[in-house]
Structures are given as C-alpha cells and as structure tokens.
Amino acid sequence: MGERRAAPSRRGAPELPSDDARAHAAPHLQPPRYHLFGGKGGVGKTTAASAHALSLLDRAGGGERILLFSTDPAHSLADSLGVPVGDRLTEVARRGAARLSAYEMDAGAALEKFKDEHRPVLAEIAERGTLLDEGDIDELLSLSLPGMDEVMALFELSELDRAGAFSHVVVDTAPSGHTSRLLRLPEVFSHMIGALDLLAEKHRYIVAHFARGGRARADEVDLFIGDLTERIGRVREMLHDAGRTRFTLVTIPEAMAFEETARYLALLRDEDVPVTDVIVNRVERTHAGCPYCRARAAAQKPWLARIARDFKALSLRAAPLFAEEVRGLEALRKFARATQDFVAATRNSTRAALVGDRQPGYARAGAKVREEEKEVGGGAGFALAPRRLLIFGGKGGVGKTTAACASALALARDDAGGRVLVFSTDPAHSLSDCFGEHVGALRRGVGGVGNLDAMEIDPGARFEELKARFRAWTDELFASLTGGSRFEVQFDREAMRELVELAPPGIDEIAALSVIADLLDADAYRTIVLDTAPTGHLLRFLELPGVALSWVRAFLKLLLKYKNVVKAGGVAEELIALSKSIKRIIALLTDAAACEFVGVAIPERMSLEETARLADALERLEVPMRRLLVNSVVPARAARSCDFCRERRDAQSGVLSEFRRRFARGVSLYVAPQQPREIRGVAPLREHFAAWREACDAARSRSAVESGAKKSRGGGVKKKSGAGRKSGGRDAMKKASAKSATKRGSAQAAGASKRRREVVKR
C-alpha cells in the first residue's frame, strides 16, 4: 500500500514540525497527552475545552504545538475562539515559539477523500467476496453513509497521533448521547474489519488451494486491512489509556444536566474511559441583594450538593456565571482563571441559597410570568395548530426539550379529542427529567394528561428488532443463492452475518426513523412532537430518509439484476414496503401544512451563529424554519434592580437585535424569559409556555429597561456591557466563519434536497 503518510494532506494546512522540532519539544511533554471534554449539550464543553487549550499554550515550552480538535458535526470552535477555523489546521494563537492550532473537520469531505483514496482496494474486496460486478460496486461506494462523522473524526485523530506533531491534543466532543457511540466505535469497527477480512478470506482460500506454492501472499487488500486494524488500535489506546488520556465532564447545577451527567459518567466508567475531572459551569451568585439572583442560586443549591456528594471521587472545579458571553481569546483566558476549586467557588452560592430560601420574591411568586411576558416580548402568544409532525431543534442546551414538552401539553389541552405524542430522537433522553417522572419506551397519560403520551426509545433494542429481520433476509438470500454449497456458506454468509451484527454509526437516527415510520403508519396520534438531538445530529436525522431511500433503491436494483440467481421474494417485498414508508416521511417533512420545524435558541452569539447555519441547512433540505423561540432572556424587572442582571440583559439585547436582523425574512421571532427556577414538571412547563411572546423591538425593550432603571435609582445608568464595543472587530471573522460553515456540508444537503424533489414528483 505504499509508504504511510506523516500527516493528512490538507490544502491550506500549516506545515507540520520537522523531526528536529518535535525532538526539541519532547522534554516539555507532560502526560496526559489527550484532554477530552464532554457532557450534555449546551453546558459549556466548547468553552471549557478552548479555555484549557489556551491554558496549555500559556504554560507551554518553546516549540510545543497544541491542537484543539472538534468531533461535533456542528462545530463551535470558531464561534468560541472568535477566529475563523474551518476544515484545516489553523493557527489561532501563539506564545513565543509555542503555537495553538484548531481544526473543525468536515466529516463529509473526509469520508469522500477516504473513499477516493481507497476505492480500488474497497472495490477489490467486494469483487473478491461477492457476486457483484464493477458497476454494482462503484454505485454502492458512491452512496452516502449515515453516522460517519464520528468514524472519520477518530480516523483523523489517529493520523495526527501517528504523525506525533502535537504535545497535547484537546478534544471538544459532541453532546453525551452521540459521544457515547463514538466511544464504542473501536469495537464496532473491529467487527467491520473482521467482516472485510472474511470477504478477503475466500480469495486467500482459492489462491492457497489452486495456486503454486500452496499459500496466498499478502497483497494490497491485506495491507489495507492491517492498516485499518492498526488505526483502530491507536484510537482504542487514545480513548482508554489512563497514562495518556484525561476525560473532563462539564455540567451545570440543574436537574436535567445533573441527571444526564450522572448517566454519562456511569457509561464512561463501563467503557473504561479515564474520567478524572468535573467542571461545574455557570454557578450563580447573589449580586447586591437581587431577589432574582437569590432565587436562581437557591434553585442550584440542591444540585450543587448532589454534585459534591455523587462526584466526590473526581477532581471538582467550578466556574461562575458571567454577565457577558464567554467568547474570544481574552474572555476564554478569564474563564480559565475563574475556574477554581469547587468548594471555594460554590461557597458564595451556597450561602446565597440559604438566604434565598428564607425570602419571598421570585422563588415564591413563580416569577410573575404575566408581568414578565409583557416586558420581554410585547406581541402575541405562541399559537399552536394540530399538525402531524411538530419538530423542535437547535443547539444543545437551549431548551429544546422544555419547549417540546410545554408545546405537547398545550396541544393536548387545546385538542382534547385528539391524542398527542412527544417523542425524543436524542440518544441522551431528557423527557423523563423534564416531566419529573419516568417515561421509558412508552408512558401513557404523562403528567396526568389523559391524551398525552411520551416515548424515549432504546436505539439498541430497536436495532435488535431490525437485525432479526435482516438475518431472515440474509438467510433467505443465501438459501436461494448457494443451493447448499458449503464453500459459499463458509465465507459469504459469515461475512454478511458479521456485518448484520454491527451496531453501525448512525444507529440512533436509524432507530428513530424506523419508529416514526411505524407511528405514522399506525396513525394513532393526531400530532407527534419531536424533541431532537442537537444541531449536527438533527441534520443527520433529517438527511437520513433520502440516504435510506438511495440504499433501498440500490438493493432493489441489484435484486432485479440478479433475479435469475437470487430468489428473494420476501426480501423484495420488505424493501418495497420500506421504500413506500420512507417516501411518506419525506413527503411529510416537506409539507408545510402537515409539518412545522420550530427553532430554539438562546440570546448568545454562539447560539445565533449555529442557528443561522441550521436555518440555511433546513432551507436546502426543504424543511424550512418559520418560527424561532429565543429562550432564557433575563427579565426586565430583574435588570432594573441589579447591575449584574442589567449587564446580562444589555448583552442579550444586542444579540436579540442581531437575531431580528438575520431572521427578518420569513421567520417569526418569539422570546421567553429565563425563569428563576428550573422548568421541570407540568405546572412549570405550562407557565413557561404561557410566557412565550412574539418579540417586540429589541432597542425599544432595552430603552424601557434603562428608563426603568433610571427611575428606580434616581440617576443615570452606567452601561457596562462590552458587547457593542467588541462586536465591530469581529465582523470580518463572522462573515468568514459563516461562509466557511455554509460551505461545509452543502453538497450533502443539496443532494438530499434533490432526492426529496424527485420523491415528491413521483
């Protein structure tokens, strides 16, 4: 297979250090080498990872190179650093001769590059191990593969590890549900390599029995399989070697975040991942006796106690809630300095919580939602009409689950004669945490509402059902194909069974799609409300119907082509039924009367940028977003009485204005106030939904806050927000970043859009 590369070749990537430079840096190398940051979506993983990478740079010796790498398909490194990054190694900071580079890998482009580089050997394996001809194999290799983001990320990391160019690699992982799949990929890929090896074994068997010399020589196929095996071994070491790797969990002191973090920690320990640290982000403090801040701190108190108790075996650190968004190199360094020992960092919050428990105000009055809703958004409420499908999506941690649950409750109340289902497609389910009761596979009458059901599927269990069907298909195919030949059974059937047994990348989206297809066919619910995974995996889910249809059509074409060899009546019938079901889903997703996508965001720049990229992708997929809910706006009443709350709201107002400008066409913007307590249970969810209002003019809203503050203080207001001052210098970066992000994945989305149009025509 030729000589191995020292590093992946990428246009625009800076030249990697020479051996002499690496030797010079080696004395400064300190374990661990790999620093992985993970947790629930939206808790600050990217912030913590970026801040840690900068801390490593600030302590680095001369000549050291540090890499900040993202495995999340919805990358946010550029948004966090305030520097364009994209699909290349990009130097983002330096200190003397030490340098920090960042890399947001385009998984789709990396997969195409991998297939192009190895297409001949992949085709050779398929040709040796199957009856397919060159044209069949080429068509199959051209199809998209769902869920390959994680695979390509691991492969790229293994290549960087082999090059040995970086003294430290900091990894910003995808949200917990999908990173848990990433951690299992080495085992999955080992099985996949085993299946490829079985396909190649038939060729070796023939050569060994009929060629001179009586044994097969290693060729390019064997070298390729050996190289893949070596890569997987390096990835396994990288993920599990406690001497080289440290995994840091990031969380916030709220019920839903704590529960998901606890489940994630248990899974990581089961997988033998060396978890060493927990960073508790956004710890609230009191500010000048503000009742709103006291109420927020009081709500965090029990979860800070649970974190201290349940995670005591780990190194605990905490970071405070900042008035302004942590974004840009200096803000990230400030975050790193403010992240300190958990006990010291939470002492103020605990004391505030104890005081807050004894005082009336926000915590007792439920935030006076009716008053706050007029201050945050002056328009109409959020009207709901029964639709077959109502989808809530957006960046992790913006409140998608609470929005989906609150809307499902409102729909069930307004349409007492129809049944409503709220269904989670996120592998890290939170419906149970949100309703405050166990949901599981199916919970009827959730929250005591008779016509509302909830569902959290187990992707593994669902895939076992699908595999049972695939096994039957495989056995039927080989029974008709082999006519009892032991030779075929020994190799082809074993290889196919090995592939069928895999839990493939994209299993979560595949399982969710199959359940939705069954639910739509059963027609038991008037409306299905989807609580989706964060942006990157949401888009993968929405692209999956088109991808799946392409594979089904390819298999049907092969069955038709080889109908004289393969008697596959049952298989063909199943595939035809599956094709019809997928077409119905595609037609539904693109039918504005039957399906609505509601975006959810928070008034922060990183959320704004990711929401804009999501909206562009949705337009290309022909599943447009017509309404956008911006959550967690600081109430005006709190801003009038507290300098810290006013600073937060001032910073939010600037971002809200940008939301209005960027989504001025075709999108209705709604806002919801940040509640003083966590939204959990039926009553808080109903209260939350009642507070959603169409946004009034952001500048007018800010002016009202400042006017009220002047009256309450009898003087001028000192504006402390730096959002406006800092934004001017970032315009060029924003444009470059948005252009780069829009370019990423456009080919895949355009292809999916084309397939959807073809289906609708048919």
Return the active site residues.
426
Contact of 666 with 320, CB cutoff 8 Å: no
Crossing angle of helices 148-163 and 220-240, rounded to 10°: 90
Distance CA 492, CA 678 (A): 55
Give 491's DSSP letter: I
Token digits of residue 230: 């070596």
The three state secondary structure string of 541-572 is HHHHHHHHHHHHHHHHHHHHHCCCCCCCHHHH
Burial class from Cβ neighbours inside 10 Å (0-12, 13-18, 19+) for residue 178 reads buried
Distance CA 496, CA 470 (A): 10
Residue pointed to by tokens 């939705």: 516
Distance CA 472, CA 491 (A): 18
Q: Where are the alpha helices (DSSP H) in 454-534?
A: 459-482, 486-488, 494-500, 507-522
What residues pair up with 59 in beta bridges, in sequence order?
none
Q: Where are the beta strands (DSSP E) in 364-447?
A: 389-394, 420-424
Residue pointed to by tokens 């009716």: 370
Distance CA 631, CA 397 (A): 10
Distance CA 692, CA 682 (A): 16
Contact of 33 with 169, CB cutoff 8 Å: yes
Contact of 386 with 606, CB cutoff 8 Å: no
- Fill in the amino acid letter for 3: E
| Rg of the chain, C-alpha, whole Å | 27
| 751 SS3 class | helix
The C-alpha angle with vertex 149 and arms to 280 and 548, in degrees rounded to 5, equals 125
Token digits of residue 472: 């039957």
Token digits of residue 33: 């080498």
Give 438's DSSP letter: -
**Cα dist from 375 to 640, 665, 679, whole Å:** 11, 24, 20
**Cα dist from 339 to 67, 95, 265, 319, whole Å:** 21, 22, 21, 4
Distance CA 281, CA 456 (A): 27
Give 337's DSSP letter: H
What residues pair up with 527 in beta bridges, in sequence order?
420
The C-alpha angle with vertex 547 and arms to 754 and 179, in degrees rounded to 5, equals 125
CB atoms under 10 Å from CB of 708, counted, come to 17
Token digits of residue 383: 């009207």
Token digits of residue 451: 């016509």
Which residues, 6+ apart, have CB-to-CB distance to 415 below 8 Å? 386, 451, 526, 527
**Cα dist from 623 to 466, 584, 585, 593, 596, whole Å:** 27, 14, 12, 12, 8
Characterize the bridge pairing of strands 65-70 and 168-172: parallel
| 144 SS3 class | coil
Distance CA 469, CA 496 (A): 13
| 632 SS3 class | strand
- Fill in the amino acid letter for 102: A
| 289 SS3 class | coil
